[in-house]
């Protein structure tokens, strides 16, 4: 899929779950102090890179608290009204089902077979009660079709990995292994993706 417009991606800032290595999924965990700093830093990076184009961007966030707070802090750092953005539930993180809130050693102890199966094919593996990356791609596809101009989104690591396969030229084997940085800006343009 080739995108006709630029998509500016910000991952939400750090939460305590991120710092502890816990699977967050769709649990609504707030930003920590470092995450709030990362959100403001990403906003300044967008302001410095896109400058006068900010007024033309559409702004959309996942409805989870950590993405909304990141969007509002980033927009403030851009000199924009913090609350003037849309939300779309299709931009929520993939669900890890019953694994949410656990760290990987706990997952491996609780579900050793499933944890091993996930390592074999992260793209199609579905955690118990959760979603696979392939399922998330099906959720995102109709949303991507609504992108009709340059758009900035604040979303999640899993969403970025899926977008890397859909519009960033990455394979379904490579994308789930990609590091998605907090406090940085990922720009999708044409069929490429690059960190600013």
**Mutual orientation of helices 33-50 and 65-77 as an angle, nearest 10°?**
50
Catalytic residue among 72, 93, 100, 131: 93
Which one of the listed residues 12, 69, 156, 170 is annotated catalytic? 12
Choose among 93, 101, 163, 160: nearest CA to 131: 93
Let me know if 81 is a catalytic residue. Answer: no
Phi and psi torsions of 74, nearest 5°: -65, -45
Question: In the block, which residue shows the tokens 């089902």?
Answer: 97
What gap in Å lies between CA 44 and CA 36, rounded to an integer?
13
- Note if 156 is an active site residue: no
Residue positions annotated with a catalytic role = 12, 93
């Amino acid at each position: 899929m080739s995108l006709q417009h630029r998509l500016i991606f910000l991952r939400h800032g750090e939460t305590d779950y991120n710092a502890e290595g816990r699977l967050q999924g769709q649990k609504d965990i707030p930003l920590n102090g470092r995450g709030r700093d990362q959100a403001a830093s990403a906003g300044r990076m967008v302001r410095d890179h896109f400058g006068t184009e900010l007024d033309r961007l559409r702004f959309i966030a996942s409805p989870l608290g950590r993405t909304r707070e990141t969007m509002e802090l980033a927009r403030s750092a851009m000199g924009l009204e913090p609350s003037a953005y849309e939300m779309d539930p299709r931009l929520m993180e993939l669900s890890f089902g019953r694994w949410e809130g656990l760290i990987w050693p706990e997952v491996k102890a609780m579900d050793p077979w499933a944890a091993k199966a996930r390592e074999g094919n992260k793209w199609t593996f579905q955690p118990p009660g959760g979603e696979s990356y392939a399922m998330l791609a099906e959720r995102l596809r109709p949303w991507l079709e609504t992108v009709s101009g340059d758009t900035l989104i604040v979303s999640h690591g899993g969403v970025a990995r899926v977008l890397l396969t859909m519009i960033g030229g990455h394979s379904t084997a490579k994308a789930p292994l990609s590091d998605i940085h907090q406090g940085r800006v990922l720009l999708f343009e044409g069929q490429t993706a690059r960190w600013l």
